[in-house]
Amino acid sequence: METIYFVLGVLTVLVALGVVGVFSVWKKAASAADEAHSVWGGIDSLNNDLGREIERLHQHVDITRKELNNDMNDIHLRIDQEFNELYRNLDSRLDKLEDRLSKMYLEGCEPVKQHKPIKEK
């Protein structure tokens, strides 16, 4: 009989230790699950922040690209205007030179008319 009581006592202690162990493992598993949820929540938050930052950068790049295109168009327009002005000035000067040369051809050149030919010996 004493053996039965001893065995029952040992079994009771083992069952109590098993129940305590199961609850301890269950509590640690629940804590680990909470930490995992917290980590996943942090990852989701970082992912959302990164997505917003990438979208903001895309918008900034688009705005900068549009401004650069506008600046380039302005530069091209100024270059075209400067070349047109240069062509007008050059054309005007060439027209004046052509008029002077035509007048000299038709009327003769005064310095050439006044020049006395050198007599050859």
pLDDT at 118: 67
Q: Which is more confidently placed, 26 or 121?
A: 26
What tens digit of pLDDT does each residue of 39-50 get? 899 999 999 999
- 114: in domain: no
- 59: in domain: yes
pLDDT at 38 > cutoff 70: yes
Q: Please give the share of the chain, as a percent, with pLDDT higher than 70.
A: 88
Intra-chain end-to-end CA distance of the chain, in Å:
167
- 51: in domain: yes
Mean pLDDT of the region 3-11:
85
Quick one: three-class SS letters along 28-83?
Answer: HHHHHHHHHHHHHHHHHHHHHHHHHHHHHHHHHHHHHHHHHHHHHHHHHHHHHHHH
- 8: in domain: no
| CA quadruple 66, 67, 68, 72: dihedral sign | positive
d(CA 7, CA 15): 12
d(CA 120, CA 113): 19
User: Count of domains in the chain?
Assistant: 1
* Domain extent for 67: 15-97
Average pLDDT, the chain: 88
- 119: in domain: no
What tens digit of pLDDT does each residue of 81-104 get? 999 999 999 999 999 999 988 887
pLDDT at 115: 62
d(CA 11, CA 14): 5
- 45: in domain: yes
pLDDT at 100: 86
pLDDT at 54: 97
pLDDT at 52: 96
- 66: in domain: yes
- 58: in domain: yes
